[in-house]
Amino acid sequence: MILVTGGTGLLGSHLLFDLVSAGRPVRAIKRETSNTGMVKKVFSYYSDTADELFGKIQWVDADIMDFRAMDDALEGIDHVYHAGAVVSFYPRHHKTMLRTNTEGTANLVNLCIDRKIRKFCYVSSVAVLGRAVNDGISDENTWWQPSNKNSVYGQSKYGAEREVWRGMEEGLNAFIVNPSVILGPGFWDGGNSGLFSLVWKGLKYYTRGVNGYVDVRDISRAMILLMDSNISGERFIVSSENISYQQLFEYMAKYLGKPAPSINVPPALTGLAWRVEAVRSFIMRSKPEVTKEMATTTAQVYTYSNEKLRKAIGFEFIPVEQSVKEISEIFLRDHQA
C-alpha cells in the first residue's frame, strides 16, 4: 500500500488522482482542519466518476509533527510519497514552516527507516538549489549556498532535503524531486493558482524576473515513473520551461480573455512595494499582499535545467503555454458556474 502526505494540497490531490485512477491502493493523511472537498473538486476536473475515485482513498488523521500518528499511518505501507509541507512566504508562518518541513521530514525519514519502507519519494523544491548562482542555469549539482536571497521556505526545504540525504546514508531507498513553480487548477485563492485570480481581476503590473514553471500533472507523473523505476539515491529537477513573469502573465491574460499587465515594476520599486505593504498590513492587521521574499523572488532571474529527468526516463514536459491554457479553461468553468 502507498502512503501520501500532503494529499489535500495542489500537488498531492493530483498525485492521489493519478494513483487511484491507476488502481493503486492508497492511504492519505489529513488533518482535522484539512479540506478534502478540494480533492474531490480536483478529481472532478479530470473525471466523471470523481466521487467513486475519491471513495477509494483510505484517509487517516495525522499531523506530520505527530510522531505516533505518523507511525500508525505507516502500518502496512511499502511506498511513501512525502509531498506535505507548509508552503508560505509570510513571516508569521516562518517558525511553524521551519519546524514542520524540517523536523516533520526528519521524523518521517526515521520512521520509514525503522519500518523498512521499500521506497520513499521526497518532494523538495528548486528553492534548495544555489540561489546565489544568478548567471547560469541551475542543475541537480547546484548545491545550496548561504545567501540573503534564500527564502525561509527555501531554508526549511533545504533542511528537509538534508534529512532525506541523511536517511539515504542510513539505508533509506529514496529519491528526491525538485519542482520549480507549480501550475495547476483549483486552489484559486492562494499560492500560484491565485495568480490566475489576480490576472482575472485585472493585474496591471509585471516584473522582468524569470523562473521555472511546471504543470502539476507532470510532477505527479514524474514521481510515479521514478517510483516505479530502479532509480534511487538521486534528485531530479522537474521544470518545464524558464520564462519571465511578464510572459507568464501574458499567457494567463490571453487565455482568460483579459488585458495583459502592462506596467513594468523595476527591482527598486518591488523593494519599495514590500516595505509599504509591511507597514500597511501591520496597521490594518491584515495579510500583506507583497512580502519581502515575494518581491525579491519576482525580481530575480532563476533558470533550471530539466535535462537529467528527460534523459533518465525519457520524460517530455507539457509546455507552459499549454498548461496555462488548460488551467485557464478550468478557471473560467469554475467562475462561470
Q: Which residues bind ligand NAP (CB under 6 A)?
A: 5-12, 29-31, 33-34, 63-65, 83-87, 100, 123, 125, 157, 179, 181-182, 187, 191-192
Output the smallest distance, CB 138 to ligand NAP, in A. Answer: 13
175, three cell numbers: 529519491
Half-sphere exposure of 19 (CA within 13 A, CB side): 30
Q: Which is nearer to ligand NAP, 102 or 328 (CB)?
A: 102
Output the smallest distance, CB 178 to ligand NAP, in A. Answer: 7
**Beta strand spans in the chain (E):** 2-5, 26-30, 58-61, 79-82, 119-123, 137-138, 174-179, 181-183, 205-206, 210-215, 235-238, 241-244, 263-264, 303-304
Output the smallest distance, CB 103 to ligand NAP, in A. Answer: 10
User: Residue 123, by phi and psi: left (phi above 0), alpha (psi -120 to 50) or beta?
Assistant: beta
User: Distance of CA 204 to CAs 259, 293, 306, Å?
Assistant: 9, 20, 31
Radius of gyration of the chain (CA): 19
Q: Which is nearer to ligand NAP, 47 or 192 (CB)?
A: 192
Cβ-closest position to ligand NAP = 9
Best CA proximity match to 320, nearest among 247, 233, 223: 247
Q: Which is nearer to ligand NAP, 179 or 185 (CB)?
A: 179
Output the smallest distance, CB 124 to ligand NAP, in A. Answer: 7
Structure letter (DSSP) for residue 92? G
Q: Which is nearer to ligand NAP, 100 or 323 (CB)?
A: 100
Q: Which is nearer to ligand NAP, 75 or 279 (CB)?
A: 75
Output the smallest distance, CB 215 to ligand NAP, in A. Answer: 11
199, three cell numbers: 490576472
Output the smallest distance, CB 157 to ligand NAP, in A. Answer: 6
Output the smallest distance, CB 66 to ligand NAP, in A. Answer: 8
Best CA proximity match to 231, nearest among 84, 109, 121, 113: 121
Q: Which is nearer to ligand NAP, 3 or 113 (CB)?
A: 3
Q: Which is nearer to ligand NAP, 123 or 265 (CB)?
A: 123
User: Distance of CA 328 to CAs 11, 196, 216, 260, Å?
Assistant: 17, 7, 14, 14
Burial of 22 per CB tally in 10 Å (0-12, 13-18, 19+):
exposed
Q: How far apart are CA 97 and CA 82, in angstroms?
A: 15
Output the smallest distance, CB 228 to ligand NAP, in A. Answer: 20
Is 258:221 a contact under the CB 8 Å cutoff?
Answer: no
Q: Is the dihedral of CA 35, 37, 39, 45 positive or negative?
A: negative
Q: Which is nearer to ligand NAP, 34 or 271 (CB)?
A: 34
